[in-house]
Structure 1
């Protein structure tokens, strides 16, 4: 019985070995590898674009927002002072 197994095992590959060595499985592995490579590149470039957009926002828009807030506070202070002094508020 042992001789039959070794004889059959040496001449015939197992089902799993035949399936894993088939061309369809090789093409599937290649396609999965290519998809993973493209996904990795896409995520990396998306991360770089997000970094650039974030830094641009910090450099350009945050100072503008701070300055607009200061201007609003100054306008409110002037309006409060003018109401305390009894002068009519300026029309907007």
Structure 2
């Protein structure tokens, strides 16, 4: 009886090993791994390109747009100061130019 339980366990291990071996060498599994690897590569490249584009856009914004915003704010403050001074001196208020 002990030998029959051994042979059944060894035969079940043989079946599991064969099934596992067959599945691991399956062309479908190989193709799936290849597709997953390709997808990971494309995703990595896409993220790198997106990061480069974000860096380019951010630095361009800082160099070109932020100084423009600061200058426009200064100009608006100067216009408001001129209007305030004109009203203190008693000049009629001028319509704000746009």
- TM-score tier after normalising by the smaller chain length: 0.7 to 0.9
* 1:12 Cα deviation from its structure 2 partner: 8.0
CA–CA separation in structure 2 for the residues paired with 1:87 and 1:72: 20
Matched with 1:45 is 49
Give me the TM-score of the superposition, normalised by structure 1.
Answer: 0.86
Taking only aligned residues, the RMSD between alpha carbons, in angstroms, comes to 2.2
- Gaps (5+ residues) in structure 1? none
Pairs within 5 Å for 1:1-92: 1=4, 2-3=6-7, 5=10, 9=14, 13-91=17-95, 92=97
CA–CA separation in structure 1 for the residues paired with 2:25 and 2:64: 57
Give me the TM-score of the superposition, normalised by structure 2.
Answer: 0.81
